Structure 1
Amino acid sequence: MELVLKSDAVANVDALARRIVVAVPTLNESSTIAACLTSLMKGNENMQFLVLDGGSDDGTREIVALLAAKHQNLSLHHNSRRNQAAAINQASQIADGKRDILIRCDAHAIYPEGYALSLGQKLIEMGADSVVVPMDAVHTEDAGCFERANAMIVDTPLGSGGSAHRGGRKSGFVDHGHHAAFWRTRFVKLGGYDEAMLANQDAEYDTRLRADGGKIWLDAGIRLDYFVRKTPRSLWTQYWRYGRGRADHIRKHLVTPRIRQLIPVLHVLALMYSGAFLTMTKWATAYPVVYGATVLGAGVWAALKNRTRCGLMAPLVLVIMHTGWGLGFIREMIVPMRRR
């Protein structure tokens, strides 16, 4: 993607760049952080880049330090709270005073040239309070079959549930999105992210932003490549946290979950029912059979579409996503985490 500016704004590219601060939270991201920062910083010497590290012990800090030695507009900071919410809040406080546009980026992503400038421009053009973008799932070059299958299936309706910000192709005003650009003063005024939340801090913030009259624009023309999780364990942890975060969000704001958000919960409850009544009625096997056939079919589809046997790992990816999210949600509803 190339940055496209109106003719009367071309001369003001540098001025726009000087208004932008890009915040990247990290915690053990050595495999992707160099590519992430390199893609973000290309041609953006007038922006400020802040890496907020939660105590990485895999070499992430050393990689960032080496890059910071070459780029005066990049700096590394310690995030004592470790989580992403605290990192973005910290960035909103320590950024240069004249930086009024705050952009949150992810160490698991690769960004197209002109990405941050495009977001800043769109924030101004649309009169929005936040601009978000779709993510397109990708895998690393040395990926194993599990990671490749994850990238194949996560953006499908069976994987992400059809979220507009996961592979979506339509622009418009939305309730929520990822990788946002904010007006820094508005973000700070609303209290930033809720640092007590395990996950879903961005969705929770969007709820407060909309309640305050804010508008969120999703621009399908500005996209990024997002590296999926590499292992079953890391994927399970990710979706377990997602489920818990969504439950915490719902409980905090008393909002009604969408149908697609309830499907993983109903999935887990159906499996529990099947297990409890397996020896009592033949109907107890109905859901596991239908579900098993569905995810196996998805694996065959992924393998044929992508012409690789790795697609046959997609059923495992889906089972982990659905069950991890559903169990995380139920766990949080029954035993809420202690708010700090």
Structure 2
Amino acid sequence: MQASPSQFTTIVMPALNEEHYIAEAIRSLLPADDTVDFELLVLDGGSTDCTRRIVEGIVASNSRVKFIHNPRRTQSAAMNIGAEICDPRTAILLRADCHAVYPPGFVENCVDALGSAASSSVVVSMRAVGKTPVQKAIAAAQNSKLGNGGSRHRGASQSGYVDHGHHAAFDRATFRSLGGYDESAPFNEDAEFDARLAQSGGRIYLDSRSIIDYFPRSSFSSLAKQYYRHGWGRANTLVKHGMRPKLRQVLPVVILLTFVLATVAWPFVGAIALLPPAGYLALCLTWGVFLAFRFRQPELALAGLAAVIMHLSWAAGFLRRAFETKSERSLRLRSGEA
């Protein structure tokens, strides 16, 4: 089924210092004018690099693209602002990230799936790709079950209804009726929205036709910060909605606690206490070396280290938010608010 041109679509692209990615992302994303009626709003959170100049160059040659300042800076705010200021004809909102390249027909497929699947939201799969040696290693980790825990939207998957995925398209009326993204929580806004959507009776459809190529962080330090935020946000969502964590979300926490317990026990029982974390490190690092030999790409030897950073950083963020929410709840109980 071809997308209906009558369903006006607003593509919202949050941006912040994306000079290395945004031009390619926009070029790959723009649909043909005769397939769907659309506008593309780049919501910039205050870029200090050449992002604005690059986008303004595109705006000069394509009136459908607009550069808009996002004073609240976050991705959540960008989507909420876009939902408010978009063309009044807008029936469908589409979220697009700068760190990605989109397959042909991406917008058309999302619009089509939103209608044909009778869903409130369409999500897509993503595969990580790299340009630099470190980015390629990180991408390999993110594409593997060791790195993503078997998350359905991380890689090729069959179409069908899911509880979460990489956000793509929304029915605008539904998005606004649920209050959009929760801007009080700076991370994991997509999963938090999906929880509210499911509670309201909405359905989320994974469209397997539209797998995007995602460019991960290009340094281990930025990867650690990103996954710390992911873990913090996931804990916040679970606590807010009274949800139970999945096994893939529990395992990184177990790994981090194993490191902590081994460090504490070491002075008392000796080196034997270090065997569990040492075994985990050996497994991850050996896996990275295996990848390097299998694909004849030496840089992939760093994939094991990337996986370790992802696991431990995610767990640290998760535990911090879990302890924060427990403390906040205790304070409310003492003050008689709950």
- For residues 33 and 289 of structure 2, the distance between their equivalents in structure 1, rounded to whole angstroms, comes to 43
Deviation at 1:181, TM superposition (A): 0.6
Deviation at 1:250, TM superposition (A): 1.2
Residue pairs, 1:36-185, within 5 angstroms: 36-44=25-33, 46-140=37-131, 143=132, 145-185=133-173
CA contact (8 A) 1:155 1:162 kept: no
CA contact (8 A) 1:23 1:51 kept: yes
The equivalent position to 1:199 in structure 2, one of 187, 208, 227, is 187
Structure 1 letter corresponding to 2:299 = C
- For residues 128 and 70 of structure 1, the distance between their equivalents in structure 2, rounded to whole angstroms, comes to 35
- Paired residue secondary structure (1:56): coil
Task: Give the number of equivalent residue pairs.
Answer: 324
CA contact (8 A) 1:198 1:244 kept: no
CA contact (8 A) 1:106 1:179 kept: no
Are 2:323 and 1:334 aligned? yes
Structure 1 letter corresponding to 2:54 = I
Deviation at 1:276, TM superposition (A): 0.4
The answer for the alignment partner of 1:315 in structure 2 is 304
Deviation at 1:221, TM superposition (A): 2.0
CA contact (8 A) 1:128 1:217 kept: yes
Structure 1 letter corresponding to 2:251 = I
Residue pairs, 1:235-246, within 5 angstroms: 235-246=223-234
The farther-off stretch of 303-312 and 25-34 is 303-312
Are 2:22 and 1:33 aligned? yes
Deviation at 1:43, TM superposition (A): 2.1
Deviation at 1:131, TM superposition (A): 0.8
- For residues 305 and 119 of structure 1, the distance between their equivalents in structure 2, rounded to whole angstroms, comes to 36
The answer for the alignment partner of 1:270 in structure 2 is 258
- For residues 246 and 93 of structure 2, the distance between their equivalents in structure 1, rounded to whole angstroms, comes to 29
Once the two structures are superposed, what CA deviation does each residue of 1:81-119 show, in whole Å capped at 9, x if it has no partner?
111000000110011011101011100000011100110
Deviation at 1:42, TM superposition (A): 4.7
Deviation at 1:304, TM superposition (A): 1.9
The equivalent position to 1:289 in structure 2, one of 264, 269, 278, is 278
Aligned-CA RMSD value: 1.6
The equivalent position to 2:219 in structure 1, one of 223, 227, 231, is 231
Structure 2 letter corresponding to 1:54 = G
Is there any run of 5+ residues in structure 2 with no aligned partner, and where?
A: 329-338
CA contact (8 A) 2:28 2:101 kept: yes
- Paired residue secondary structure (1:52): strand
Deviation at 1:283, TM superposition (A): 4.0
- For residues 40 and 172 of structure 2, the distance between their equivalents in structure 1, rounded to whole angstroms, comes to 15
The answer for the alignment partner of 1:22 in structure 2 is 11
The answer for the alignment partner of 1:3 in structure 2 is none
TM-score by length of 2: 0.92
Structure 2 letter corresponding to 1:39 = S
Structure 1 letter corresponding to 2:130 = H
- For residues 96 and 306 of structure 1, the distance between their equivalents in structure 2, rounded to whole angstroms, comes to 48
TM-score by length of 1: 0.92
